[in-house]
Amino acid sequence: MTNTAKNLRVLISGASVAGPALAYWLHRHGFRPTVVERAPALRDGGYAVDFRGEAHLSILRGMGILPALERARTGTGSMAYVSSAGKPVAELPADLFAGDIEILRGDLARILHDATEEFTEYVFGDSVTSLTEDADGVTATFERAAPRRFDLVIGADGLHSTTRRLVFGPEDRFVRHSGVHCAIFTTANHLGLDHTGHAYRTAGKLVALYSARHNAEAKAVFYFAAPGLDLDRRDPARQQQVLAEQFAGNGWESDHLLQRMRYAPDFSFDSVAQVHMDTWSRGRVALIGDAAHCPSSLSGMGSGLALVGAYVLAGELAAARGDHTTAFARYEELMRPYAAGCQKMGDGVARLMVPGSRFLTAFLNRYYRLLPYLPGRNLAATMARRAAEGITLPHYPLR
Assess if residue 223 is contained within a domain.
Answer: yes
Count of the separate structural domains present in the chain: 1
Model pLDDT, residue 348: 64
Question: pTM of the predicted model, to two decimals?
Answer: 0.92
| 245-259, 273-287, 337-351: segment of lowest average pLDDT | 337-351
Model pLDDT, residue 328: 98
pLDDT tens track for 41-94: 998 878 889 899 999 999 999 999 999 999 999 888 888 999 999 999 888 777
Assess if residue 374 is contained within a domain.
Answer: no
What single-letter DSSP state applies at residue 288? -
Average pLDDT over residues 127-138: 97
Average pLDDT over residues 199-220: 94
User: Which residues lie closer than 8 Å to 51 by C-beta, 6 or more apart?
Assistant: 57, 60, 69, 99, 100, 101, 303, 304, 307, 388
User: Which residues lie closer than 8 Å to 360 by C-beta, 6 or more apart?
Assistant: 203
Model pLDDT, residue 117: 97
Q: What gap in Å lies between CA 298 and CA 80, rounded to an integer?
A: 17
Count of CB atoms situated within 10 Å of the CB of 107: 21
Q: Given a cut of 60, is residue 377 above it in pLDDT?
A: no
Q: Given a cut of 70, is residue 169 above it in pLDDT?
A: yes
Model pLDDT, residue 373: 55
Dihedral (Cα; 164, 166, 167, 170), 10-degree rounding: 60
Q: Given a cut of 90, is residue 358 above it in pLDDT?
A: no
Q: Contact at 8 Å (CB) between 293 and 277?
A: yes
Assess if residue 376 is contained within a domain.
Answer: no
Model pLDDT, residue 371: 59
Average pLDDT over residues 266-278: 96
Terminal CA-to-CA distance of the chain, rounded, Å?
6
Assess if residue 365 is contained within a domain.
Answer: no
Model pLDDT, residue 97: 65
Assess if residue 393 is contained within a domain.
Answer: no
Domain boundaries, position 178: 9-352+381-388
Model pLDDT, residue 374: 54
- Residue 172 sits in a domain whose CATH number is 3.50.50.60
Assess if residue 373 is contained within a domain.
Answer: no
Average pLDDT over residues 210-235: 92
Model pLDDT, residue 368: 66
DSSP secondary structure string for all residues of 29-77: TT-EEEEEESSSS------EEEE-SHHHHHHHHHHT-HHHHHHH-----
The SS3 call for residue 373 is helix
Average pLDDT over residues 131-151: 98
Q: Given a cut of 90, is residue 268 above it in pLDDT?
A: yes
Assess if residue 1 is contained within a domain.
Answer: no
